[in-house]
Amino acid sequence: MSAVTMPAPPVDLTPGRPALLADSGTLIWRGLARWRRDPGPLIASLGFNILIVLMFAYLFGGALQVPGGGSYREFLMPGMFVMTMVFGISLTTIAVAEDLERGVTDRLRSMPVSPLAPLAARAVADMLFALVTLGVLLLTGLAIGWRTHGGIGATLAAVGLILLLRFALIWVGIFLGLVARGQTAVVAVQTLEFPLGFLSNAFVAPSTMPAWLGAVAAWNPLSATVGATRELFGNPGWGGDSWAAQHYPLLAVLWPLVLVAVFLPLSVARYRRLAG
Amino acid sequence: MTTRADAIVAQGLRKRYRDRYALDGFDLRVPQGTVCGLLGPNGAGKTTSVRILSTLLRLDEGRAEVAGFDVTRQPDQVRYRIGLVGQHPALDEALSGRQNLVLFGRLFHLGRRRARQRAVELLERFGLADAAEQPVSTYSGGMRRRLDLAAGMILAPAVLFLDEPTTGLDPRGRNEVWESVRELVRTGTTVLLTTQQLDEADQLADRISVVEAGRVIAEGTPDDLKTRLGGDRIEVVVAAPTDLAAAVAQIRRAADDEPTVDVDRRMVSVRVGHQAGALVDVLRALDAVNVPVADVALRRPTLDDVFLHLTGHRAATVEVAA
C-alpha cells in the first residue's frame, strides 16, 4: 500500500436495482436527448414526407383517377399518412443496428440494465417521433385542402389506427435492426419501403392490377389501414369485392396486432440470443 | 504481501461456434488488485474469454467467477461490479461526454443527482472537463477511449475488462490510455487486459497469460516469460568479414554455447543465460586474438521472442510490422 491513501469517493456509489420502467425511461431520455443534439435525420425525414405529399398532390395529381370523382387530395392523404408511417421504419432499424455495431448494446448488456428496456425504449421514442410526423402530415394535408368528414370519434379512431400500424412496423424495424448487420441491410430496408408502400391500395386500385398482385395488394396490412382510415375520415376510396377489401376496419386492427405478436417476441428472443 | 483472493477465476471454459472451439479448456486466475495481460494473436480466444467473463456471452462448459460471483447464475451481481471497455468506444456519438456518463450512471441506477455528480467527477479525473459539453463525435481517438474508460469506471468496479484498449490509437493516444489505466490500478481495481501488442502487455501487466487456440499456453510475469527463453543474448558485430570464423571460435569458448552467425551483418550472437560477466568475457576473448569489434549489444529477449518460442509462429501484429 502506498503512503498516500485515496480519498473516499465523494459520490455515494451504492446502486439501486434494475427496473424495466426506470431503465426504459432513462433510455427514452437518451433517445430524445440525441434528437435534440442532432435533429438532422428527423428534419430530413419530415421534409422528405412533406415533399412526397406535395409531389403527389401537385405533380402526379392529374394522372390519378379518383374513384367516384371525389376530391383528389382527400383521396390522396390517407394513403400518404400510412406511407409516412412506413418511411420512418428505416430510422428505427438504423438506430438499433448502430447501437449494435458501435458496441453500445454490448455495454448495456454488460450493465445491470433490464434486458427489455433497450427495445422498449426504442419503441416508445420512435412512437413519439411518429406522433410528430403524423401531426405534421395532418397539418400538411389540411394546408393543401384535405378534410375529414368523420366525427371526432371516427377521426381519432383513424389516427389511432395509423399509429397502431406504426407501432407494429416499429417492431418489424427493431427486429430487422437486430438481425441485419451493416449498412447494406439498412439500405435494403429503405429500398423495400417503397414497394411495400406502393403494393397497396394507397394510389392504385388493387382490382386494376394483375390478379395475383391485386390479391397481395388487397391483403397488404397497409391497404387495411388505408381503406379503414378512408372510411373513417369519409374520404373517397376504391371499395372492392375481395373479402379483405370488405373488412378493412377489422383487418386494420388485426394486422398490426399480428405483426406485434410476431415481431415483438422475435426481437426479444433475438436480443437474448446475442449472448450466444 | 498477504495472499489475496482471486478477482477472476475461470476453469475449463469452452465455447463453441459452429464446428470450432473459440475457447477450449481456458483456465485463468487473476488475484485482486493486479493487472493480467491476455496476450495472443487474432482469433486466439482473448475477446471470447472477456465476453464470457463480462456476462455478454454464455459459456458452453466450465465455470467462471468474477468479483466473487458466478457469471452464469448471478450475472446482475457481476454486472454491478465490472466495467467493460471494448475494442471500439461504446458511446453515443451524438451526446456530449457529460451526457454519456450521466446516461450510463443512471443505467447503473445511481439516480439522476448522483449520476450527474459522478459524471463531473470522472470528467475531471480523465482530463475531459473542458470537452464535457462537446458531442463525442468531435472527440479525438484518445479522448473517446478515456471517456469510454470513464464510463467503465462509473461504479468504481472491482474488475475492469479492457479488450485491446488502444487499437487504432496513435502513440500519443496510446500513452494517454496507458496513463489512465495505471491510475486506475493504483486505486485497487483488478484489470484484465487483452492485447496483441507485446509491449502493451509488458508496460501494463503484472502477469501475462499467453493465449493460443482457445487456451492459456503459458503464464508468468513478463520477466518469467523472458527468462524461459534462456536469458540474455550477446550480439557482436565484427569490423571485418574475414574475422568472423575467429570470432565464432572465441565466442563459443567464452560463452560456452553454440553461437549463431549472420554473415551479411557480420554478426555473431550467443545465448549467455544470466551470467553478468559474460559480456566482459566475450570482449576479452576477442581482444586477445585481435579481432576488432564494430558493435556489441547485450539483448534481453522481447515478448516477441517469447511468443515465437511458445507458439512456433510470430504474433499477428509482428508479422505485419516485419
CATH topology for the B232-300 domain = Alpha-Beta Plaits (3.30.70)
Cβ–Cβ under 8 Å, residues A118 and A99: yes
pLDDT for B274 beyond 90: no
pLDDT of residue B313: 63
CATH code for B6-225? 3.40.50.300
What average pLDDT does range B93-99 have in this prediction? Answer: 96
Task: Give bridge partners of residue B26 from the DSSP assignment.
Answer: B13
Give the span between the Cα atoms of B282 and B298, in whole angstroms.
11
What count of CB pairs under 8 Å joins A to B? 106
Residues of B in contact with A104 (CB under 8 A): 90-92
Q: A256: number of CA atoms within 13 Å, CB side? A: 24
What's chain A's average pLDDT? Answer: 89
pLDDT for A133 beyond 70: yes
What are the angstrom distances between the C-alpha of A274 and each of B13, B19, B260? 19, 19, 52
Residues of A in contact with B111 (CB under 8 A): 16
Q: Where is pLDDT greater, at B307 or B195?
A: B195
pLDDT, tens digit, for every residue of A155-190?
A: 999 999 999 999 999 999 999 999 987 777 778 888
Count the Cβ atoms, other than its own, within 10 Å of residue A44.
Answer: 11
Give the span between the Cα atoms of A96 and A39, in whole angstroms.
17
Closest of A70, A58, A49 to residue A132, by C-alpha: A49
pLDDT, tens digit, for every residue of B287-320?
A: 999 999 999 988 877 767 777 777 766 554 433 3
> CATH 3.30.70.100 in chain B, residues?
232-300
pLDDT, tens digit, for every residue of B162-187?
A: 999 888 888 888 888 888 888 888 88
* Pairwise CB contact (< 8 Å): B86 & A106: yes
* Pairwise CB contact (< 8 Å): A15 & B15: no
What's chain B's average pLDDT? Answer: 88
pLDDT for B90 beyond 90: yes
Chain A residue with Cα closest to B72: A275
> CATH 3.40.50.300 in chain B, residues?
6-225
Give the span between the Cα atoms of B65 and B71, in whole angstroms.
6
Cell 406485434 sits on residue = A260
What average pLDDT does range B272-281 have in this prediction? Answer: 79
pLDDT for B322 beyond 50: no
Please report which residue ranges of chain B form alpha helices under DSSP H.
46-53, 75-79, 97-107, 112-125, 141-152, 171-186, 198-204, 222-227, 244-255, 278-288, 303-311, 316-321
Instruction: Report residue A4's pLDDT band, with 50, 70 and 90 as the boundaries.
Output: very low
What's the full length of chain B, in residues? 322
Question: Torsion over CA of A94, A96, A102 and A105, rounded to 10 degrees?
Answer: 180
What average pLDDT does range A77-82 have in this prediction? Answer: 95
Cβ within 8 Å of residue B165, ≥6 positions away = B85, B145, B149, B177, B181, B193, B195
What are the angstrom distances between the C-alpha of A262 and each of A4, A215, A269? 59, 22, 11
Give the span between the Cα atoms of B214 and A3, in whole angstroms.
41
Give the span between the Cα atoms of B270 and B265, in whole angstroms.
15
Cβ within 8 Å of residue A16, ≥6 positions away = A22, B109, B110, B111
Helix (H) or strand (E) holding B299: strand B293-299
* Pairwise CB contact (< 8 Å): A13 & B121: no
Who among B17, B111, B151 is closest to A16 (CB)?
Answer: B111
Who among A13, A29, A109 is closest to B56 (CB)?
Answer: A109
pLDDT of residue A3: 46
pLDDT for A63 beyond 90: no
pLDDT, tens digit, for every residue of B127-144?
A: 999 999 999 999 998 899
